[in-house]
């Protein structure tokens, strides 16, 4: 078990933003964290990272967490290379007076190779495509040697080719035994990942993809959902949030 929560409540100071979270994450799990903006996804991630203290309930964390932010929120005007960005992952485990070593730089380049970007190690981060930048941010998390990765809507803004490459990378990371929590608005994608955690200021549901009933989605998105025609695992209809966006 990498992490487990029971009745977890988290928020800011004494004000809970999210309550009643009962979650288990094991090595090799890939869990979609589904919910609207403001529903508590970011607050949960900050609590797992240790930036916020639990307000109630139990949190058992048996492995290091690393966050992979949205590339769209990254500064692109700094003249740093892909290696420099990946190397930032070493800083979190170094004493404040130590600078990254040559060994750390080799580790950063190895992480870039793992995500398929060895040939772009010296490319300026801002000159990479959106999908390439997202994979660099995954490499930065890998340099932290974290068994748990928290990904904040990593497919936002990616074209289909980049999204497919990132999807393949995430599958390979779970096959290595890492546990992934992936914040998303994409219900169809969440169904494919198999395990989902639905949040809207409280836990709505946690389990296999078949928990994504219309009632659960209405509770998760406050009733603001639409039906579209598509074929997902043999279904004729899929229920998606009204603010659903393509990656």
User: DSSP secondary-structure letter at 234?
Assistant: T
Name the domain boundary from 146, 175, 208.
146
Q: Looking at the structure, do residues 55 and 172 belong to the same domain, yes or no?
A: yes
Q: Looking at the structure, do residues 59 and 90 belong to the same domain, yes or no?
A: no
Q: Domain range for residue 184?
A: 1-63+147-216
Domain-embedded: residue 121 = yes
Q: Which of 38-42, 67-71, 241-245 has the lowest mean pLDDT?
A: 241-245
On the question of pLDDT at 119 being above 70, the answer is yes
Q: What is the mean pLDDT of the chain?
A: 85
Domain-embedded: residue 9 = yes
User: DSSP secondary-structure letter at 99?
Assistant: P
Q: State how far the alpha carbon of 62 is from the alpha carbons of 3, 24, 48, in Å.
A: 6, 11, 11
Residue 188 binned pLDDT confidence (cut-offs 50, 70, 90):
confident
Chain CA centroid to CA 151, Å = 1
Residue 23 binned pLDDT confidence (cut-offs 50, 70, 90):
very high
On the question of pLDDT at 110 being above 70, the answer is yes
Name the domain boundary from 88, 111, 146.
146
Q: Looking at the structure, do residues 155 and 115 belong to the same domain, yes or no?
A: no
Return the pLDDT at 114: 87
Q: How far apart are CA 224 and CA 226, in angstroms?
A: 7
CATH of the domain at 24: 3.40.50.300
Tokens linked to 76: 């692109």
On the question of pLDDT at 17 being above 80, the answer is yes
Tokens linked to 188: 């169809």
Residue 226 bridge partners (DSSP): 240
Domain count of the fold of the chain = 2
On the question of pLDDT at 162 being above 50, the answer is yes
Domain-embedded: residue 29 = yes
Q: Looking at the structure, do residues 166 and 117 belong to the same domain, yes or no?
A: no
Average pLDDT on 183-208 reads: 92
Return the pLDDT at 104: 87
Return the pLDDT at 155: 87
Q: Looking at the structure, do residues 127 and 84 belong to the same domain, yes or no?
A: yes
User: Is the model more confident about 71 or about 201?
Assistant: 201
On the question of pLDDT at 21 being above 90, the answer is yes
Domain-embedded: residue 222 = no
On the question of pLDDT at 193 being above 90, the answer is no
């Amino acid at each position: 078990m990498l992490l487990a929560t029971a009745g977890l409540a988290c928020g800011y100071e004494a004000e809970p933003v999210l309550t009643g979270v009962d979650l288990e994450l094991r090595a090799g799990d890939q869990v979609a964290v589904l919910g609207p903006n403001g529903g508590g996804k970011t607050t949960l991630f900050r609590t797992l990272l240790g930036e916020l203290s639990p307000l109630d309930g139990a949190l058992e964390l048996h492995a290091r967490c690393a966050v992979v932010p949205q590339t769209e929120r990254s500064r692109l005007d700094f003249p740093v290379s892909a290696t420099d960005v990946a190397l930032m992952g070493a800083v979190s485990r170094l004493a404040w007076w130590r600078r990254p070593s040559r060994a750390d730089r080799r580790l950063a380049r190895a992480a870039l190779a793992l995500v398929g970007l060895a040939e772009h190690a010296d490319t300026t981060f801002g000159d990479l495509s959106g999908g390439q930048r997202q994979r660099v941010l995954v490499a930065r998390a890998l340099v932290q040697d974290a068994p748990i990765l928290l990904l904040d809507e990593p497919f936002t803004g990616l074209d289909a080719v980049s999204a497919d490459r990132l999807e393949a990378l995430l599958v390979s990371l779970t096959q290595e035994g890492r546990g992934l929590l992936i914040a998303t608005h994409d219900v169809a994608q969440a169904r494919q990942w198999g395990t989902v955690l639905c949040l809207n200021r409280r836990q709505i549901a946690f389990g296999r993809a078949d928990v994504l009933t219309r009632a659960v989605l209405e509770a998760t998105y406050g009733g603001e959902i639409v039906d579209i025609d598509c074929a997902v695992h043999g279904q004729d209809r899929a229920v998606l949030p009204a603010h659903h966006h393509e990656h």
